[in-house]
Amino acid sequence: MLPRPEDILPHRAPFLFVDELLDLVPGERVAATWHLSGDELFFAGHFPGRPTLPGVLMCEAIAQVGAIAVLSDERYHGKLPLFGGLDGARFRRQVGPGDTLVLEAEMTRLSARAGKGTGRALLDGNEAVSCDLMFVIVDADAT
């Protein structure tokens, strides 16, 4: 049985964008879902009359599943991956209320201090966004 996203990620509502894990290979890859109910606050202002999921939030959701891949690897217990960069983001489909995204991330490089990955969000099997992620790994309890 796969863990719940909140058992791995430090994120919490309203900024937890991962609802359910579909597949997980610690330190390598992950697939998950994000169900958009339409009640999310950003839909009211982005855009009135044509609610659209902001692309930057899709990239954040991909980063969150990437963090699940990293944090589920026991080598990174007590650590936190932080965004270091985003490259090659391409937005291909509009996503709105009632849609469900399948989020995928694959780690392409991991070290003790940083990593890289690639990810995408699929809507009805079609790519809505793809991007490359870069992140640094820090102590989770650092002040």
Rounded to whole angstroms, how far apart are CA atoms 122 and 4?
A: 20
CA–centroid distance for 20 within its chain:
12
Q: What are the backbone dihedrals phi and psi of residue 108, each rounded to the nearest 5 degrees, phi first?
A: -105, -20
Which among 11, 35, 46, 77 is annotated as catalytic?
Answer: 46
- Please say if 46 is a catalytic residue: yes
Q: Are 64 and 11 in contact (CB under 8 A)?
A: yes
1-26 burial, b for 16+ CB within 10 Å, e for fewer? eeeebeebbebeeeeebbbebeebeb
Q: Known catalytic residues? A: 46
